[in-house]
Structure 1
Amino acid sequence: MTFPPPPLRIGDLVIDPPILQAPMAGFTNAAFRHIVRQFGGAGLLATEMVNARGFVWMDENDAEHPDRLWGVAEEARPLAVQIWDNEPETMAKVGRRLAHEYKVSVVDINFGCPVRQVTQKAHSGSYLLRDPSRMSAIISRLVEVCAPTPVTAKIRLGCSPESINCDVIARVVEEAGAAALTVHGRTAADMFRGNADWDRISQIKSHLKNIPLIGNGDLDSAEKVVAAFTNYDVDGVMIARACLGRPWLFAQAAAALRGDPVPPEPTLAQQRDVMLDHYQLVVDRFGEDKGTVLMRKYACCYAQGKHGARHFRTHVAKVSTAEEFYSVVREHFPSAPAPVV
């Protein structure tokens, strides 16, 4: 791989730098995306995954569209929206709206979620890795109704270590017309345990003819992003959980890929201020009561890995008003880095 790596092309869309922000349920809403954009470095941002069946129900019952589409109509592009379900026509109804009314940059299909509510109860997400023909039908239908907006797919290596079929699935995804494939380097049964298998991700590239391969899993530093491009046959990378409390990680990774000095971690006081800005955005959208409760999990992410994080989490998990939130942050947000072990 030459450095810096070339821009990633998804259909006619150019992603530069080739660093993507993963869609994460419950986290990657408009407030979080706004914070990431302030720091820069992410070539493509994504919403939380949207339940297509729920979207259709809301549409048919004149209800407000899902909170997970908050901000999508107005915010900067490029932007991807990820959707899930197991019925091609349901997915097509939503994909058509996203592509032609919301005018999103990419419609992504979730074939990777391992959560029981999505897999066992709804037979969607990573459950569909055992049904390549159904996957093909969903992708091809979405490609048809979304054109010229590109449709992409995100998968895992397989349903379990005993049933890894990502090579077969990769060919199915490309032949159905998808414009890119993202692979998380674990199986669904692994959930988030163990290490992502980047060797296995890299091997998938030989099974693709024309579409780019995006690797995902365990990218928690600029150095690991550089190593992914250096050591593995991928066209792009996707950063997930590591960015939730470190939205500046994309800017650090982009600098490293350019060969520029990597920006240092913000000071703890600066990180606290970023978190407070994030809190205000959430409260502006959802109101103080709901916004404060929603912010608890984000606040825990910002404190993760710091000295006193557990103490802070214990207190912030109980807040329900702005006054309580600011008080806990003032008194308990970590003021020193985690000790080196």
Structure 2
Amino acid sequence: MPPIYIGQVKVDPPILQAPMAGYTNYAYRQMVREFGGAGLQATEMVNASGFAWLHEHEAEHPDRLWGVKEEARPLAVQMWDNDPATLAKVGERLANELHVSVVDINFGCPVKDVTEKAHSGSYLLKFPDRIAQIVERVVKACAPTPVTAKIRLGCSRDAINAIEIAKVVESAGAAALTVHGRTAADFFRGTADWNRIAEIKPHLKKIPLIGNGDLDSPEKVIEAFRRYGVDGVMIARASMGRPWLFRQAAAALRGEPVPPDPTAEEQRLTMLRHYELTCARFGEQKGTLLMRKFACNYATGRPGARTFRAMVANVFTREDFFNVVERYFPREEPHDVDIPPHVYK
């Protein structure tokens, strides 16, 4: 597959790492970067109002922007809010002060704290005119840094309006559109509807369409390009404990043999490096607590994973963490198991 361009930003290969709240911090991004294969990485999504307050009070940038100034490019930062002026102000700072490669606006988050309380994320899919105002203001504020948008199919199955929103986003000047193949009401239940994503492509005149949802293998990435005609793909939850998935998908796109999963020992060492990076930023106590969920993801699908998850969920210190990893992290190679449907989305 050829690279895609988001404005002047070359994304090669056209495989993007999704922004995921609570997960895609610098430590995670570094693990993905060391394996390779992601053409564009993204931070966790940033609350624009919170970011603006911190900036005005000369406070430290939020942890969600940990590492952004120094790390390799290209790199995207996703933000959310419902006020065009606030989003424009924060977008300008991201572009001109942090020099990020891409500023992304979230119109897809289905979490109630974002939708019902803040009237942001996927809530805004009900209001195409508001989305147009937001995108137009942010594009103008960030120029020449490209601005993108991420959406869902609609608020619910009986209110799918992704084609309308896609047209609005492009007309307002966005440089790319990512579509998750579920509605907000679906949350992460069921399966992503890639046929609905494909229906959007003919309605975009010049910007790339990036598909997202249920991409948990190189084979599914290939299918997304061949069957559904997207220009790029975005991998999300399936990579939380498998940062090597991007490398595998990129090899498949090049027509090369897909590298095997790392051995159990290599995966253990990868997880421990992830732990060290996290603790270097947050200290032993907070870093250990944060790594509980990542450690659980690294064990998913392996014999003994349930026992390991139960044990690592109760660690509080570095010594506890290493003892549990040494005793309980699955040593055997993976075999065919039934993976809970909520895991790989």
* TM-score of Structure 1 vs Structure 2, range by shorter chain: over 0.9
Query: Could you tell me how far apart the structure 1 residues matched to 2:80 and 2:240 are?
Result: 22
How far 1:138 sits from its partner (Å)?
Answer: 0.7
How far 1:93 sits from its partner (Å)?
Answer: 1.1
8 Å CA contact retained: 1:139, 1:176? yes
User: Which string of whole-angstrom CA distances, capped at 9 and with x for unpartnered residues, describes residues 41-73 of structure 1?
Assistant: 000000000000000111122211110000000
8 Å CA contact retained: 2:263, 2:333? no
What are the within-5 Å matches in structure 2 for residues 161-180 of structure 1? Answer: 161-180=157-176
Amino acid in the other structure paired with 2:234: M
2:111 corresponds to which residue? 115
Between the two proteins, the alignment pairs up a number of residues equal to: 337
Amino acid in the other structure paired with 2:329: F
Query: Could you tell me how far apart the structure 2 residues matched to 1:62 and 1:55 are?
Result: 10
Query: Helix, strand or coil: the match of 1:189?
Result: coil
User: Which string of whole-angstrom CA distances, capped at 9 and with x for unpartnered residues, describes residues 14-64 of structure 1?
Assistant: 111000000000000001111111000000000000000000111122211
1:182 corresponds to which residue? 178
Q: With structure 2 as the length reference, what TM-score do the two structures score?
A: 0.97
8 Å CA contact retained: 1:58, 1:64? yes
The answer as to 2:298 corresponding to 1:302 is yes
The answer as to 2:41 corresponding to 1:45 is yes
Amino acid in the other structure paired with 1:319: V
Query: Could you tell me how far apart the structure 2 residues matched to 1:168 and 1:220 are?
Result: 28
How far 1:337 sits from its partner (Å)?
Answer: 3.7
Query: Helix, strand or coil: the match of 1:41?
Result: coil
Query: Could you tell me how far apart the structure 1 residues matched to 2:206 and 2:241 are?
Result: 35
Query: Could you tell me how far apart the structure 2 residues matched to 1:175 and 1:252 are?
Result: 35
How far 1:140 sits from its partner (Å)?
Answer: 0.3
8 Å CA contact retained: 1:316, 1:328? yes
1:317 corresponds to which residue? 313
User: Structure 1 runs of 4+ off > 4 angstroms?
Assistant: none
User: Which string of whole-angstrom CA distances, capped at 9 and with x for unpartnered residues, describes residues 286-307 of structure 1?
Assistant: 0000000000010011011111
Taking only the aligned residue pairs, the percentage that are identical comes to 69
1:340 corresponds to which residue? 336
How far 1:6 sits from its partner (Å)?
Answer: 1.2
Amino acid in the other structure paired with 2:19: P
8 Å CA contact retained: 2:41, 2:75? yes
Query: Could you tell me how far apart the structure 1 residues matched to 2:335 and 2:180 are?
Result: 31
8 Å CA contact retained: 2:292, 2:315? yes
Query: Could you tell me how far apart the structure 2 residues matched to 1:340 and 1:86 are?
Result: 44
Q: With structure 1 as the length reference, what TM-score do the two structures score?
A: 0.98
The answer as to 2:232 corresponding to 1:221 is no
Query: Helix, strand or coil: the match of 2:28?
Result: helix
8 Å CA contact retained: 1:203, 1:233? no
How far 1:340 sits from its partner (Å)?
Answer: 2.8
The answer as to 2:150 corresponding to 1:154 is yes
1:258 pairs with 254, 260, 268, which one?
254
Query: Could you tell me how far apart the structure 2 residues matched to 1:261 and 1:83 are?
Result: 37
8 Å CA contact retained: 2:275, 2:288? yes
Q: Which runs of 5+ in 2 are unaligned?
A: 338-345
Query: Helix, strand or coil: the match of 1:120?
Result: helix
Query: Could you tell me how far apart the structure 2 residues matched to 1:117 and 1:337 are?
Result: 39
Amino acid in the other structure paired with 2:222: V
Amino acid in the other structure paired with 1:282: T
Query: Helix, strand or coil: the match of 1:238?
Result: strand
The answer as to 2:259 corresponding to 1:276 is no
Query: Could you tell me how far apart the structure 2 residues matched to 1:218 and 1:210 are?
Result: 26
Query: Could you tell me how far apart the structure 2 residues matched to 1:340 and 1:258 are?
Result: 27
Query: Could you tell me how far apart the structure 1 residues matched to 2:185 and 2:91 are?
Result: 28
8 Å CA contact retained: 1:219, 1:239? yes
Query: Helix, strand or coil: the match of 1:247?
Result: coil
Amino acid in the other structure paired with 1:250: F
Query: Helix, strand or coil: the match of 1:73?
Result: coil
8 Å CA contact retained: 2:123, 2:155? yes
Query: Could you tell me how far apart the structure 1 residues matched to 2:244 and 2:52 are?
Result: 35
2:239 corresponds to which residue? 243
1:31 corresponds to which residue? 27
2:341 corresponds to which residue? none
1:93 corresponds to which residue? 89
Query: Could you tell me how far apart the structure 2 residues matched to 1:339 and 1:181 are?
Result: 37
